[in-house]
């Protein structure tokens, strides 16, 4: 693996213009090791993996503010917990804030602390504004850049994903540690703003510099998905599999992309094989929300295509998802957890889940609360209606918020499950207007991606309806 493992000590960080307020060289090196694994989505064996690195980092210098920042930030951005659910996390963040009051802490580090505090309080946009403030003065601060990158993704802010990287690119060069990863990050922003040719160029450059960059692989997978090159996507993922599947934090998601190509081509058995052998097993092992939402999305897409995935698969997934349905860390997660709940066909769970969401809206503040109120509840009710055979109701719930769904975050490829959902609901509705809408949506879909067998299959179904 082409990687940076010569960890930077206190002087090395000072020489880069990013001084760290720790007298411990060991702490500074471990901070670099943690940052490297985070940006590369992998566990470095020489330091015991990311989790062990963070534990050692905090022990090496308990008063090291940036050690607290990266540890608390990663726990929050994992979206598996929050300060309401995890009192230890709340305590750690309060201690981090107290440590930042010292005069020995730089302004840059104080801003980092403020950003994490905003994030913990539910204000992701304010956190992003603070990281961008850091980057104006310190464009090579990779932690600020990556934290902002991930948070923009959670907010569905595609233009910001792109521009945040574009603004700092001229300040980096190939001699800087971890610089190659910027190409994959920039490629993702370009792809999410429909600049596919430029995105492909950046992704290929990132992979040329480091074939083991799984985010560059991921960005390339998105380009091939969105430009209707499913066959090429299957070949790309299969021939590079051993380059990216060693990066365990995102390998499940890249397998998910591979399965999407198979669904597009109508190879449902291959998609199920990928689910069983990779997605499900990795989700069980990791228990990570990113993996759980991908598993739910994949099963739901297959079922919309008419594939019976079996209640056992849904139940096994819900056994992992269930403990998190009251977390409400991301609306994006909540809607996918709903898919898993619906898959188990347990109405009482769905009912209590809805009550939990309404309580969340009543008592909480912050960006996710507002998104849930404005978009998430209608989406929840649409999926619930569809599950109950009330297809016309599902359509009527989705239509008013169709162009707001981006606010729940994720990528265009991930949110496409909701586009497909609306089409399927419209096709199944007994309302002639909805059936005509399905045809219109399919024309729109075809105009965006001409080579799309899945769209062609749905169009054939729509044209078979006697609605004229």
Write the pLDDT tens digit of every residue in 415-458. Answer: 999 999 999 999 999 999 999 999 999 999 999 999 999 999 99
Regarding whether 9 and 143 lie in a shared domain, the answer is yes
What's the CATH number where 141 sits? 1.25.40
- Domain-terminating residue out of 121, 155, 189: 155
The reply to whether 313 falls in a domain is yes
The reply to whether 167 falls in a domain is no
The reply to whether 64 falls in a domain is yes
In contact, 142 and 98? CB cutoff 8 Å: no
Regarding whether 463 and 317 lie in a shared domain, the answer is no
pLDDT at 412: 98
pLDDT band at 5 (very low <50, low <70, confident <90, very high): confident
Regarding whether 273 and 140 lie in a shared domain, the answer is no
H helical segments located in 265-346: 268-274, 280-286, 289-304, 311-321, 331-343
CA-based nearest residue to 29, from 60, 1, 55: 60
Would the pLDDT of 247 be above 70?
Answer: yes
Rounded distance between C-alpha atoms, residue 424 and residue 355, angstroms: 27
Q: Which long-range contacts does 146-150 make (Cβ < 8 Å, 24+ apart)?
A: 146/38, 146/39, 146/185, 147/73, 147/77, 147/115, 149/185, 150/77
Would the pLDDT of 119 be above 60?
Answer: yes
376's CB contacts (< 8 A; 6+ apart) are 331, 334, 335, 357, 408
103's CB contacts (< 8 A; 6+ apart) are none
In contact, 237 and 254? CB cutoff 8 Å: yes
Which structure tokens are listed for 315?
A: 């139940």
Regarding whether 381 and 316 lie in a shared domain, the answer is no
- Domain-terminating residue out of 139, 155, 171: 155
Regarding whether 77 and 8 lie in a shared domain, the answer is yes
DSSP string, 188-209: HHHHHTT-HHHHHHHHHHHHHH
pLDDT at 186: 98
pLDDT digits (tens, 9 = 90+) for 188-236: 999 999 999 999 999 999 999 999 999 999 999 999 999 999 999 999 9
Rounded distance between C-alpha atoms, residue 98 and residue 94, angstroms: 6
User: What is the mean predicted confidence (pLDDT) over 19-43?
Assistant: 97
Rounded distance between C-alpha atoms, residue 457 and residue 156, angstroms: 29
pLDDT digits (tens, 9 = 90+) for 262-287: 999 999 999 999 999 999 999 999 99
Distances (CA, A) of 109 to 15, 72, 278, 306: 16, 14, 39, 53
The reply to whether 163 falls in a domain is no
pLDDT digits (tens, 9 = 90+) for 71-84: 999 999 999 999 99
Would the pLDDT of 2 be above 70?
Answer: no
63's CB contacts (< 8 A; 6+ apart) are 22, 99
Q: Into how many domains does the chain fold?
A: 4
The reply to whether 311 falls in a domain is yes
Which structure tokens are listed for 164?
A: 């945040």
In contact, 77 and 89? CB cutoff 8 Å: no
Which structure tokens are listed for 154?
A: 């959670």
User: Would you call 17 helix, strand, or coil by DSSP?
Assistant: coil
pLDDT at 468: 67
Regarding whether 386 and 348 lie in a shared domain, the answer is yes
Range of the domain at 16: 1-155
User: What is the mean predicted confidence (pLDDT) over 289-308?
Assistant: 98
pLDDT at 1: 40
Regarding whether 214 and 353 lie in a shared domain, the answer is no
The reply to whether 161 falls in a domain is no
pLDDT at 379: 98
pLDDT at 3: 66
Regarding whether 144 and 8 lie in a shared domain, the answer is yes
> What is the distance, to the nearest Å, from the Cα of residue 414 to the centroid of all Cα atoms in its chain?
9
The reply to whether 129 falls in a domain is yes
Question: Percentage of the chain with pLDDT > 70?
Answer: 99
pLDDT at 4: 76
pTM, two decimal places:
0.97
User: What is the mean predicted confidence (pLDDT) over 23-43?
Assistant: 97
The reply to whether 371 falls in a domain is yes
In contact, 263 and 305? CB cutoff 8 Å: yes
Regarding whether 267 and 206 lie in a shared domain, the answer is no
Q: Assign residue 297 a region: left if phi > 0, alpha if psi is -120 to 50, beta otherwise?
A: alpha
- Domain-terminating residue out of 270, 300, 324: 324
Rounded distance between C-alpha atoms, residue 456 and residue 437, angstroms: 16
E strand or H helix at 261: helix 248-264
415's CB contacts (< 8 A; 6+ apart) are 156, 405, 406, 408
Burial class (CB in 10 A: 0-12, 13-18, 19+), 170: exposed
Regarding whether 424 and 340 lie in a shared domain, the answer is yes
Regarding whether 191 and 214 lie in a shared domain, the answer is yes
Regarding whether 399 and 270 lie in a shared domain, the answer is no
Rounded distance between C-alpha atoms, residue 301 and residue 420, angstroms: 8
């Amino acid at each position: 693996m082409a990687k940076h493992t010569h960890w930077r000590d206190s002087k090395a960080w000072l020489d880069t213009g990013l001084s760290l307020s720790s007298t411990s060289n060991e702490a500074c090196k471990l901070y670099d090791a943690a940052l490297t694994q985070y940006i590369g989505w992998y566990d470095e064996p020489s330091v015991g993996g990311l989790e062990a690195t963070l534990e050692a980092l905090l022990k090496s210098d308990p008063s090291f503010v940036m050690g607290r920042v990266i540890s608390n930030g990663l726990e929050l951005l994992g979206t598996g917990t929050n300060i309401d659910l995890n009192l230890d996390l709340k305590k750690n963040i309060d201690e981090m804030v107290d440590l930042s009051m010292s005069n020995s802490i730089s302004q840059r580090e104080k801003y980092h602390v403020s950003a994490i505090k905003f994030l913990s309080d539910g204000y992701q946009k304010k956190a992003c504004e603070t990281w961008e403030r850091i980057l104006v003065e310190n464009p090579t601060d990779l932690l600020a850049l990556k934290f902002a990158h991930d948070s923009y993704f959670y907010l569905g802010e595609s233009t910001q994903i792109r521009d945040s990287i574009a603004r700092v690119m001229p300040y980096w060069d190939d001699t800087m540690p971890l610089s190659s990863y910027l190409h994959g990050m920039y490629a993702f922003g370009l792809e999410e703003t429909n600049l596919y040719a430029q995105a492909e160029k950046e992704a290929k450059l990132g992979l040329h510099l480091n074939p083991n960059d799984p985010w560059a692989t991921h960005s390339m997978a998105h380009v091939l998905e969105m430009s209707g090159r499913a066959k090429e996507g299957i070949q790309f993922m299969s021939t590079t599999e051993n380059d990216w599947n060693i990066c365990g934090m995102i390998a499940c998601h890249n397998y998910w992309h591979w399965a999407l190509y198979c669904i597009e081509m109508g190879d449902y058995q291959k998609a199920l094989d990928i689910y069983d052998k990779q997605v499900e097993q990795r989700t069980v092992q990791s228990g990570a929300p990113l993996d759980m939402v991908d598993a739910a999305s994949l099963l739901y897409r297959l079922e919309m295509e008419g594939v019976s995935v079996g209640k056992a698969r849904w139940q096994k997934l819900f056994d992992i998802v269930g403990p998190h349905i009251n977390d409400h860390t991301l609306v994006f997660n909540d809607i996918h957890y709903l898919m898993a709940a619906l898959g188990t066909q347990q109405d009482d769970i769905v009912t209590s889940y809805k009550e939990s969401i309404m309580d969340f809206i009543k008592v909480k503040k912050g960006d996710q609360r507002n998104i849930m109120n404005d978009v998430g509840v209608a989406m929840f009710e649409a999926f619930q209606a569809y599950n109950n055979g009330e297809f016309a109701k599902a359509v009527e719930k989705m239509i008013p918020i169709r162009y707001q769904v981006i606010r729940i975050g994720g990528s265009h490829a991930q949110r496409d499950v909701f586009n497909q959902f609306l089409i399927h609901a419209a096709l199944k509705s007994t309302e002639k207007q909805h059936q005509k809408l399905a045809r219109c949506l399919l024309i729109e879909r075809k105009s965006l991606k001409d080579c799309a067998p899945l769209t062609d299959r749905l169009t054939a179904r729509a044209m078979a309806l006697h609605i004229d």
